[in-house]
């Protein structure tokens, strides 16, 4: 579990490769490979971004998961909404929904994303 200076918390899967950086009022969590569940704090300025090799997720005050692997990325929203930028297209995704960056990446019920139990990538 990571706690960020803005009050956000990140649950990191044990086999994940993750980095954290800040620039101005923005914070970026990079998920090179693996899975995270993010509980983003409400922010008065700036954004929290989660970046994978093929997409960027922008949020303020929400709960969502990001799973990044060889086939692509899956973003599932548990509460609130997120903006997922992939291939130049910005998609607003709301609670109970998910976005995948590859049509061949199987969808999972959003209810199964509330913990980082081992699952296929």
E strand spans, the chain: 2-3, 9-12, 17-23, 26-39, 48-52, 55-59, 63-69, 72-79, 81-86, 89-94, 98-100
Give the pLDDT confidence of 38-81 residue by residue, as tens digits.
999 988 888 999 999 999 999 978 999 999 999 999 999 999 99
Mean pLDDT of the chain: 89
Q: Whole-prediction pTM value? A: 0.86
Whole-number pLDDT of residue 73: 95
**pLDDT at 89 > cutoff 60:** yes
Average pLDDT over residues 85-109: 90
């Amino acid at each position: 579990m990571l706690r960020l200076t803005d009050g956000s918390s990140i649950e990191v899967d044990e086999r994940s490769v993750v980095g954290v950086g800040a620039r101005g009022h923005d914070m970026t969590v990079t998920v090179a490979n693996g899975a995270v569940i993010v509980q983003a704090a409400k922010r008065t300025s700036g954004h929290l971004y989660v970046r994978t090799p093929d997409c960027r997720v922008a949020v303020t005050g929400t709960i969502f998961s990001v799973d990044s692997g060889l086939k692509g990325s899956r973003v599932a929203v548990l509460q609130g909404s997120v903006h997922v930028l992939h291939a130049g297209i910005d998609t607003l995704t709301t609670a109970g929904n998910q976005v995948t960056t590859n049509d061949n990446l199987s969808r999972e019920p959003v209810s199964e994303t509330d913990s980082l139990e081992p699952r296929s990538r």
